[in-house]
Structure 1
Amino acid sequence: MLIKQYPFYLKSTVILFGVSLFVMVLYMLADLLVPLGFSILLAILLNPLYNKLRHFKINKVVAIALTLLGLVIFIAAVLYFLSSQMIQFGDTLPALKAKGGQIIIQIEAWIQHTFGMSIQKQMQLLNEAANNNKGLVGQTIGSLFGLFSVLFLIPVYIFLLLFYKKLILNFLYEVFSEENTQSVAEILNQTKTAIQSYIVGLLIEALIVAVLNAAALFLLGVKYALLIGVIGAILNMLPYIGGIIAIALPILIATVTKDGYGTQLGIIIAYSVIQFIDNNILVPRIVSSKVQINALISIIIVLLGGALWGVSGMFLSIPMVAVLKIIFDRIEDLKPWGKLLGDEIPTQHMGQIWKLRRRKKIVA
């Protein structure tokens, strides 16, 4: 039977249309897919604890409830720690506000002297910017309400995913032909291992970075070193981008609470050293799982995830690509894409290999 061959431009057009349609669906269903994505990651992470409870012959519903209780206790402990530190931070807000007002006056005078812009003109521009950002404030409030809905949905999703785990796994096995059962089992096992190692490694990395940040800020004499160090570690969980954002907060606090600029320079140097340690020691040895995504793809995927789903997309992008790489590596036609996502650099250019093979054929 002859298989009809379509021209390349037609096939590429269909593929691009399909990808565009898929991305549009992801964007439109963000409110549904984002909490579901986090729930799947957390359900895979909590699965060993659930299995251990089931091993002790505990009822399925009770085991899931205890598993979720452990997650809630952990999150509550982190929030309690942050809130206790924030209370101390709030006690000195009047002093920070007064010092900040003095700095703003100095900046206004510097702008007036350097650029010849009057203070009234500066205030007019600030008011216009504030009016333009009213819509952004409304979006932020809407995002907060969305956050509360997500926090409600995630435990429900986790409960149902663990409860119907066997049903979902049986569906994945039965939807493929019997000869592919072994490949499906390997993909599911590698996916579970990759996600678990990634999330656990991310938490360990965040703990180490928080300690390093807090120690550096404490030695530099920056107020609220522990709180700022922990916030910086949480922001650092955003791959490649969070570390840059995290440095702004301690510099701002140092600018408001200290005279001169020596402390700010020390913060930049200390955070640069911590980022070097994090990127070259912690991430390769702690966060890395069996699936390696190269830096170029990671940066592109994180930015695309942010454009698609915001901050949530940045967090979800790396695990999603790791799962895609596992699938690509198991499908013969998609292996080149799996290699593109990975960080294994070939020792010889394929073009050279093809030339050698062609020469051998000509000689033969």
Structure 2
Amino acid sequence: MSNSQQQYPFYFKSTIILFGISLVCYALFVLSDILAPIAFSLVIAILLNPMVTKLQKRGVNKIVAISLAIGLAFLIVAGIIYFITNQIVNFGDNLPQLKLKFNENLANVQQWLNTHLNITIAKQQKLANEALNSSQALLGRTVGGALGILSLIFLIPIYVFLLLYYKTLIINFFHEVFAEENSAKVSEVLGATKAAIQSYMVGLLLEALVVAVLNSVALMIIGLDYAILIGVIGALLNMLPYIGGIIAIALPVILASVTKDGYSTQLAVVISYIVIQFVDNNFLVPFLVSSRVKINAFFSVLVVLLGGALWGISGMFLSIPFVAILKIIFDRLPEMKPWGKLLGDEVPTRHKGEIWQRKRLRQEASNPEKEKSL
């Protein structure tokens, strides 16, 4: 039997696959400071590509078109940062009073836990310190070190410029790597990938804008201080699938506990955010985040957590587009289609074993003479 026809046992193949996945994950973790900015730059370049193409069609020089697109994106991001910074400065003016009230409430909560649940204050402080250290580590993997800070300010715009400038070269590379008869399939995968990322990211930004308005209006009606700041932060956190929405509710509840007496404000905040989440999940996400690739809820949560473990907050944001690309590739490779179906959100009504068993029984019933001969 030739080597090409040799069949390896399942345990051997699965071990090799698991080893390869582990090696890739280890490389992604070790090289996160280098790869995460490149991944962000790739997503941004795909978002800016339509604008660059339109400018070039109108006769604008390629370098000028790319520079204008990057400049416009920079102004938008700078405007958002300036707005949030102003809100944080106003929040900081009253921080000493808020800190004093927070410490009073925290002492009451600690005493209640100690009295009713027998959790000592020392143990509570230990758990709080462990949670704080883990959150700092998560944030540190995102902007930790000089290279991480440098990439946010300097490297990402350069990467975006170079990716847009060498776009044709990169696309030609993918076509030349594969055989010429696969050129149509390569073009289909690249086109679907670009469309999926653009659809997902543009929809995500529009969703964040609408959620920010809804959050801010709801908090202002409730009478919570710093409503706009908390509403915008909640909308940004909501961009993290499933997990961000839970954290977004916790922030205004904590602020209400510090600034307001009683529990009516906290209850109003929880009810308002539940209504907003219902509107978001049932109306905004289906109509705005209209990605051509649908990832089911289980793998969405799983890859967000895995992305956070590998690349921190950056990995949480990039995990869904990355899995969307994988699903596009899986759906177009016959041997990988089962994996594409596993990632998708289409839930079959019957499992394959039942269908195949009924099919076999029908074949046996239609060929009784063959069954007797056997």
Fold conserved between structures, TM > 0.5: yes
Any conservation in 1 of the 2:295–2:324 contact (CA below 8 Å)?
yes
Q: Distance in 2 between matches of 1:254 and 1:329?
A: 48
Structure 2 residue 278 is matched with structure 1 residue 238: no
2:169 to 167, 170, 173: 167
After TM superposition, give the deviation of residue 77 of structure 1 in Å. Answer: 0.8
Residue 66 in structure 1 maps to residue 58 in structure 2: no
Name the residue aligned to 2:372. none
Cα–Cα, structure 1 residues 115 and 358, in superposed 2: closer, same or farther, change >3 Å? closer
Q: Moved runs in structure 1, 4+ residues, more than 3 A?
A: 104-117, 121-142, 144-147
Q: Does 1:17 align with 2:15?
A: no
Q: Secondary structure at the match of 1:247?
A: helix
Partner residue of 1:182? 184
- Structure-1 residue corresponding to 2:360: 358
Give the aligned partner of residue 143 of structure 1. Answer: 144
Distance 1:266 1:5, change over 3 A: same
Partner SS state of residue 313, structure 1: helix
Counterparts of residues 21-170 of structure 1 (less than 5 Å): 21-107=23-109, 110=112, 122=121, 126=125, 143=144, 145-151=146-152, 152-170=154-172
Quote the sequence identity (%): 54
Change in Cα spacing, 1:312 to 1:132, as seen in structure 2 (3 Å) is closer
Q: Which residue type is aligned with residue 262 of structure 2?
A: G
Deviations 1:158-181 (A, max 9, x none): 011001101000000111101100
Match of 1:305 in 2: 307
Q: CA RMSD for the aligned pairs?
A: 2.7
Deviates further, 133-142 or 225-234: 133-142
| Structure 2 counterpart of 1:249, one-letter code | L
Query: Is this contact kept in 1: 2:110–2:124, CA < 8 A?
Result: no
Unaligned runs of 5+ in 2: 368-374
How do 1:215-254 and structure 2 match up within 5 A? 215-254=217-256
The secondary structure found in structure 2 opposite 1:226 is: helix
Aligned to 2:144, the other structure's residue is in SS state: helix
Q: What corresponds to 1:295 in structure 2?
A: 297
Cα shift at 1:251: 1.1
Count the aligned residue pairs: 361
Gaps of 5+ in 1: none
Displacement of 1:105 after TM fit? Answer: 4.7
User: 1 CA distance for matches of 2:161 and 2:335?
Assistant: 37
1:255–1:12 CA distance, 2 compared to 1 (3 A): same
In the alignment, the residues of structure 2 paired with residue 65 and residue 214 of structure 1 have an alpha-carbon distance, to the nearest angstrom, of 34
Deviates more, 1:246-255 or 1:35-44: 246-255
Q: What residue in structure 1 maps to residue 273 of structure 2?
A: 271
- With 163-172 and 18-27 compared, the bigger mean Cα shift is at 18-27
| 1:241-264 deviation per Cα after TM superposition (whole angstroms, max 9, x unaligned) | 001111121111111111111111
* Shift, 1:112, TM fit: 6.9
What displacement does 1:38 show? 0.6
Q: Are 1:315 and 2:317 counterparts? A: yes
State the alpha-carbon separation in 2 of the partners of residues 5 and 128 from structure 1. Answer: 51
Report the CA distance between 1:307 and its aligned residue.
1.4
**Residue number among 315, 334, 337 corresponding to 1:335 in the alignment:** 337
Is the 8 Å Cα contact of residues 253 and 266 (structure 2) preserved in structure 1? yes
Rate the CA distance shift 1:216–1:19 in 2: closer, same or farther, 3 A. Answer: same
Task: State the 1:81 CA deviation.
Answer: 1.0
Alpha-carbon distance, 1:110 to partner = 4.9
Amino acid at match of 1:325: K
Instruction: Give how far 1:108 is off.
Output: 5.7
| 1:109-140 deviation line (CA, Å, top 9, x unaligned) | 656766899xxx95898599769978986996
Q: Distance in 2 between matches of 1:168 and 1:16?
A: 30
Structure number with the bigger relative contact order (C-alpha 8 A, sep ≥ 6) is 2
SS in 2 for 1:238: coil
Q: Secondary structure at the match of 1:184?
A: helix
Name the CA distance, whole Å, in 1 between partners of 2:17 and 2:206.
40
Q: In structure 2, do the counterparts of structure 1 residues 353 and 285 end up closer, same or farther at CA, with 3 Å as the change threshold?
A: same
Distance in 2 separating the partners of 1:135 and 1:206: 26
Per the alignment, do residues 167 and 309 of structure 1 end up closer, same or farther by CA in structure 2, a change over 3 Å counting? same
Measure the CA separation in 1 of the matches of 2:305 and 2:114. 38
Distance 2:342 2:127 in 1: 47
The amino acid that maps onto 1:199 is: M
Match in the other structure for 2:328: 326
Shift in alpha-carbon separation, 1:332–1:260, aligned structure 2, 3 A: same
